[in-house]
Amino acid sequence: MNSDVRVLIIEDEDEQLNNISRRISSYRYSHGFNVIVEGVNDFFEGSARVGRGECDIVVLDVHQDGVDIGGSELETGIAVYRQITCARFVPVVFWTGYTHKVEDLENEPFVAVVEKSDSSDVPSKIDEILTSRIVEDLRSLEDSLRIEIAKHMWDEIVPNWSEYRCGYDGDSGVSFVAALLLSRLSRFIDSKRMDVLYSKHPGHRYIFPSVSANLGPGDILYEYETRHWWVVLNPACDLVLRASKDSSRSELQPKVDLLLCASAKPLDEFGEYLSWCSSKTNAKRKTLAKFLTRTEGRYRYFPSFRLIPHLVVDLADTRVVQWSSLVDYRDIAPSDRDDFIQNQVAPEDFDQSKKFVRIASLASPFAEALVVQHSQYFGRVGVPDFDCESVIKALDDNVDADSLGDDSN
């Protein structure tokens, strides 16, 4: 792995820029990283360089002298930070005399705030970022994706171009080639994900934050007024977003207006867990393990994931939810999310007709498996149990009778 790390300093005063460059360059970093420092004194040139992927970490001043960005209290560095967060992921160290203006943005180690007078802290904040290994991980992932794209283009698209040159989908703006590439990349990424997460935190293997406006089977909903969890059971074909004949494409909605949802109850409401808590014997541990790993019948366990507690889906407890009553977690401002979910404090502009928040989604193939389990549970055909003991007795009598017949001969 290349241990060179590119740090871009965005600072409008040349003397300050030179001083902090020397401090960062002379610091001895953990794990043998070699930090290469560059600086710019124009904030928006720096933002453009970040957008082009020319650095791994940014050291960013907040105030740029002589720049008017509309007469608001928003400083130039904050505007640049927001541009960066829209363009790509790059850790940022704010180095400023206006720490009070950015302290609410601090989220270490990836967004740090250092007072200008404490310039010796800047290299240590960079070292904390490097110690997280996130710079290495992202670079490795980008390299893997680039190689996979190259393989797909050279091995599949180039020799079969006459089959693939279908132009663009007028509605989506995505070419047929790009759509096929996304499909290949999704399978590639999923295989990598399963390889890495198999032995890690089970929640990250089964559940992930919602990343698309599209609903899907296994989406996890939170009914915030009652603090109850639900899981969507509709098959994927019901949930593809589309425009109705008399509406614009901006008014997309699923093929169905109603979502079938199963109740998801906290694990601590179930006897198998409570019994194990009261007496952690091996027998009760085995019973709990069997309950947690079952993949058929009425119940299905989900591991905890951030705000989501350990849950057990009850396929016998279902309800219908209006699609129009859903709001996506991503549509709630980050500063309001925890208050909304944990304390039921809705943002001022929140649409009160929205009763359910889509928090996360089950990963594939677990979402599809849940839908199948539900179908099997309700679609099963029961047959009467015969009296096994009476059958064995009859067979035993027949065997005895045959034995007596043999003796008489």
User: Has residue 72 got a pLDDT over 70?
Assistant: no
> Using CA atoms, how far apart are residues 116 and 76, in angstroms rounded to an integer?
16
Asked whether residue 148 is assigned to any structural domain, the reply reads yes
Asked whether residue 172 is assigned to any structural domain, the reply reads yes
Asked whether residue 17 is assigned to any structural domain, the reply reads yes
For 282-305, write each residue's pLDDT tens digit.
999 999 999 999 999 999 999 888
Residue 121 belongs to what domain range? Answer: 4-132
* 8 Å CB contact between 24 and 35: yes
| 181 and 260 fall within a common domain | no
Q: Which stretch, 21-25, 209-213, 241-245, 376-380, has highest mean pLDDT?
A: 21-25
User: Has residue 46 got a pLDDT over 80?
Assistant: yes
Model-level pTM?
0.66
User: Has residue 63 got a pLDDT over 70?
Assistant: yes
Structure-model confidence comparison of residues 380 and 128, the more confident one: 128
Q: Which long-range contacts (CB under 8 A, 24 or more apart) does 157-162 make?
A: none
| 84 and 172 fall within a common domain | no
| 217 and 362 fall within a common domain | yes
| 174 and 216 fall within a common domain | no
Helix orientation angle between 76-87 and 43-51, rounded to the nearest 10 degrees: 10
Q: Could you tell me the pLDDT band of residue 1, with boundaries at 50, 70 and 90?
A: very low
Closest CA to 41 of 63, 57, 23, 56: 63
| 242 and 375 fall within a common domain | yes
One-letter amino acid of 160: N
Both structure tokens of 192: 């990598």
Asked whether residue 204 is assigned to any structural domain, the reply reads no
Per-chain mean pLDDT for the chain: 83
| 163 and 53 fall within a common domain | no
Q: Could you tell me the pLDDT band of residue 214, with boundaries at 50, 70 and 90?
A: confident
Q: Which stretch, 88-97, 245-254, 375-384, has highest mean pLDDT?
A: 88-97
Asked whether residue 406 is assigned to any structural domain, the reply reads no
Q: What is the pLDDT of residue 74?
A: 57
Asked whether residue 384 is assigned to any structural domain, the reply reads no
* 8 Å CB contact between 256 and 409: no
| Out of 87-101, 218-232, 244-258, least confident range | 244-258
**Residue 45 maps to which CATH number?**
3.40.50.2300
Both structure tokens of 229: 């969890």
> Using CA atoms, how far apart are residues 31 and 127, in angstroms rounded to an integer?
9
Structure-model confidence comparison of residues 27 and 387, the more confident one: 27
| 106 and 161 fall within a common domain | no
Closest CA to 221 of 358, 394, 95: 358
* Residue ending a domain, choose from 175, 197, 219: 197
Both structure tokens of 130: 């490097």
| 154 and 108 fall within a common domain | no
* Residue ending a domain, choose from 114, 132, 150: 132
| 186 and 224 fall within a common domain | no
Asked whether residue 66 is assigned to any structural domain, the reply reads yes
392 Cβ neighbours under 8 A, 6+ residues apart? none
| Out of 3-17, 151-165, 359-373, least confident range | 151-165
* Residue ending a domain, choose from 116, 132, 148: 132
Q: What is the pLDDT of residue 169?
A: 54
| Out of 50-59, 171-180, 309-318, least confident range | 171-180
Count of H helices and E strands in the chain? 14, 15
Percentage with pLDDT > 70 across the chain:
84
| 38 and 162 fall within a common domain | no
> Using CA atoms, how far apart are residues 149 and 229, in angstroms rounded to an integer?
39
Q: What is the pLDDT of residue 37?
A: 96
| 220 and 265 fall within a common domain | yes
Q: What is the pLDDT of residue 275?
A: 94
Total count of domains within the chain = 3
* 8 Å CB contact between 181 and 149: yes
Asked whether residue 88 is assigned to any structural domain, the reply reads yes
| Out of 18-22, 188-192, 340-344, least confident range | 188-192
| 150 and 123 fall within a common domain | no
Structure-model confidence comparison of residues 186 and 20, the more confident one: 20
